[in-house]
């Protein structure tokens, strides 16, 4: 089913008073839309929505042809117009890809697993997957810092990156002071509020991932997952932009170094 058709149909059904399938098809085809449906094509869609908890049949009428298709509370949240809407995995993932330019394939993979876990109400798995994706972007950030002349202690970061025994928390603790030193050389929209978009989010994701990934008995709720998923898009967006900027500056420096020896001496 095309995502555009699904959202348009669900929003249309939500506004209707008579939600019998044949009536839905007739009324939907009578409106201006790029899509057309029939009662027969609606039937598998309806059961798919029911299996996902987005809708249900009101079976108060004895004849199945008179059953109303109703949207659940989860379904109403699914069709909300919000970029980082975690109830709609397509919306959320599309927003992540649009905003986190340069996100790696590994980070995409685990982010997809996280949002799929959330919509299937597997909140512990959601936090584990988000944690893995977060660790990957932090390692990439450290690698970008290690080769950047904008970072005073880039050699220290390089040694840390090359150390196979270093943990993500220790690596991050070596990175943060160096990022603070480089703030004046980093664009303001990335340097500002770094303690919020980077430190706070890294800690929340890491702690929740550890709680979820170890047999601590800690409970992670749907609300915990919603908060992390919504903030994760901004966190990844800024992290990727910082990595892209450091890589861009490193490449410019290399280009200048390559050109410099070619200059002819003036007699």
Is 264 in contact with 127 (CB distance < 8 Å)?
no
pLDDT per residue as tens digits for the range 90-138: 999 999 999 999 999 999 999 999 999 999 999 999 999 999 999 999 9
29 and 114 co-located in one domain:
no
Domain containing 24 equals 3-78
CATH of the domain at 19: 1.10.10.10
Global confidence as pTM: 0.83
| Other CB atoms within 10 Å distance of the CB of residue 74 | 15
* Mean pLDDT of the region 66-80: 94
pLDDT per residue as tens digits for the range 218-267: 788 999 999 999 999 999 999 999 999 999 988 776 555 554 554 444 43
Contacts 24+ apart (CB under 8 A), 149-153: 149/249, 149/250, 149/253, 150/182, 150/185, 150/186, 150/246, 150/249, 151/178, 151/179, 151/181, 151/182, 151/246, 152/178, 152/181, 152/182, 153/177, 153/178, 153/181
What are 115's two structure tokens? Answer: 């949002």
Least Cα distance to 236 among 117, 153, 132 occurs for 132
- DSSP states along 237-257: HHHHHHHHHHHHHHHHHHHHH
Residue 266 falls within a domain, yes or no?
Answer: no
Q: Which alpha helices (DSSP H) does 64-167 contain, by range? A: 73-78, 89-99, 105-119, 123-146, 154-162
Residue 70 falls within a domain, yes or no?
Answer: yes
Rounded-to-10 torsion of CA 204, 206, 210, 216: -20
133 and 232 co-located in one domain:
yes
Q: Cβ neighbours of residue 84 under 8 Å, at least 6 residues apart? A: 91, 92, 95, 229, 230, 233
Q: What is the number of structural domains in the chain? A: 2
- Among residues 78, 107, 131, the one where a domain terminates is 78
What are 172's two structure tokens? Answer: 């991050």
State the Cα–Cα distance between residues 88 and 82, nearest whole angstrom: 9
């Amino acid at each position: 089913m095309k995502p555009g058709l699904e959202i348009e149909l669900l929003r249309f059904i939500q506004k209707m008073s008579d939600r019998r399938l044949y009536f839905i098809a007739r009324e939907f085809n009578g409106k201006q839309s790029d899509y057309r449906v029939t009662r027969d094509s609606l039937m598998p869609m309806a059961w798919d929505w029911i299996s996902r908890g987005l809708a249900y049949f009101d079976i108060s009428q004895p004849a199945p042809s008179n059953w109303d298709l109703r949207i659940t509370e989860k379904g109403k949240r699914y069709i909300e117009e919000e970029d980082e809407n975690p109830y709609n995995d397509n919306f959320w993932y599309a927003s992540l890809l649009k905003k986190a330019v340069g996100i790696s394939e590994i980070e995409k993979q685990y982010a997809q697993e996280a949002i799929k876990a959330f919509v299937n109400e597997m909140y512990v798995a959601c936090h584990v997957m988000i944690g893995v994706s977060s660790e990957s972007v932090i390692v990439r950030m450290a690698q970008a810092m290690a080769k950047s002349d904008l970072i005073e202690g880039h050699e220290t970061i390089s040694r840390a990156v090359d150390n196979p025994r270093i943990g993500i928390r220790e690596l991050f603790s070596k990175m943060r002071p160096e990022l603070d030193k480089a703030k004046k050389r980093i664009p303001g929209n990335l340097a500002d509020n770094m303690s919020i978009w980077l430190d706070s989010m890294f800690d929340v994701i890491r702690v929740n991932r550890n709680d979820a990934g170890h047999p601590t008995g800690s409970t992670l709720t749907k609300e915990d997952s919603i908060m992390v998923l919504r903030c994760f898009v901004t966190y990844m967006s800024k992290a990727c932009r910082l990595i892209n900027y450091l890589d861009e500056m490193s490449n410019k420096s290399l280009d200048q170094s390559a050109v410099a020896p070619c200059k002819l001496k003036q007699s």
